[in-house]
Structure 1
């Protein structure tokens, strides 16, 4: 899987507002907040990038699918199943 960001990039401090009860429970269970946020952000960013790619390529995807419906796959005559 290709990384969607530079995992070796320098860390940057930021301010985040988190529900106080949720934060206390995370601390109680010794959950690494920074790591958890990074993992969640990675998933969210990847989802957005996939969505953007699909939107940008929607016309080409539809054209390809229509061509396959009209002409079939090049290997249709070669399959034995």
Structure 2
């Protein structure tokens, strides 16, 4: 996912539940920071869900190959799996 931490801020118009907004202000919450953090988390979650979906076949093919052929450098491991 592209790095978003240092991106500049941009104004946006939002419609929020008025009672929740009033309570948030009463509690001293920084609404912009809260919405920004929650939106960032949701975007990141959806980005990786979409990435996994788009790459599902390649991941399945890779896992099947490893299951079939083993890890490419397994012979050079300094520890051994004990069955």
With the length of structure 1 as denominator, give the TM-score of the two structures: 0.82
User: Which consecutive residues of structure 2, in runs of 5 or more, have no partner in the other structure?
Assistant: none
Q: CA deviation at 1:67?
A: 0.3
Number of residue equivalences: 79
Task: Show the 5 A alignment for 1:1-81.
Answer: 2-4=2-4, 7-9=7-9, 11-18=10-17, 20=19, 22-81=20-79
Q: Secondary structure of the equivalent of 1:77?
A: helix
User: Which consecutive residues of structure 1, in runs of 5 or more, have no partner in the other structure?
Assistant: none
With the length of structure 2 as denominator, give the TM-score of the two structures: 0.80
